[in-house]
């Protein structure tokens, strides 16, 4: 079994030139990308990976997408699948990808 950390990214924020109080130095953070909506999020220390994981894609998902996945009418589609449908002209996106019914099949 491979590690889910293979899907993590990396964010380096340099605050050394910032004059605001509370911002100084360099901050490093792990990032995760949502397999369902394509968003990239900073992985926080309180991150609960069990709630934010899709076993069908074997990838992390964001909290809004994780909530939508629990709905009984949910149809599983990854961001890559949605992009392919839109590019081919078979579907269009209506609203947020994290909403319950964001895709309209044509």
pLDDT tens-digit series, residues 48-87: 566 678 888 888 888 888 888 888 888 888 888 888 988 9
**Residue in 30, 11, 98 with CA at minimum distance from that of residue 62:** 98
Q: Check pLDDT > 80 for residue 46.
A: no
Higher pLDDT among residues 74 and 100, named by residue: 74
- Computed from CA positions of residues 52, 96, 79, 31, in that sequence, does the dihedral angle turn out positive or negative? negative
- Domain that residue 77 falls in: 4-105
pTM over 0.85: no
Q: Check pLDDT > 60 for residue 100.
A: no
**Residue in 23, 21, 2 with CA at minimum distance from that of residue 13:** 23
Q: Check pLDDT > 70 for residue 101.
A: no
What pLDDT was estimated at residue 102? 63
**What pLDDT digit, counting tens, does each position of 23-35 carry?**
778 888 888 888 8
Higher pLDDT among residues 27 and 47, named by residue: 27
Q: Are strands 53-54 and 9-14 parallel, antiparallel or unpaired?
A: unpaired
Percent of the chain whose pLDDT exceeds 90:
0
Number of domains in the chain: 1
């Amino acid at each position: 079994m491979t590690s889910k950390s293979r899907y993590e990214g990396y964010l380096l924020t340099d605050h050394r030139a910032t004059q605001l109080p509370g911002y100084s130095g360099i901050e490093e953070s792990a990032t995760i990308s949502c397999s369902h909506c394509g968003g990239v999020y900073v992985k926080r220390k309180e991150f609960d990976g069990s709630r934010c994981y899709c076993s069908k894609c074997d990838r992390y998902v964001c909290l809004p997408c994780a909530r939508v996945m629990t709905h009984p009418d949910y149809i599983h589609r990854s961001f890559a699948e949605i992009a392919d449908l839109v590019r081919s002209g078979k579907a269009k996106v209506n609203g947020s990808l994290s909403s319950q019914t964001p895709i309209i099949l044509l």
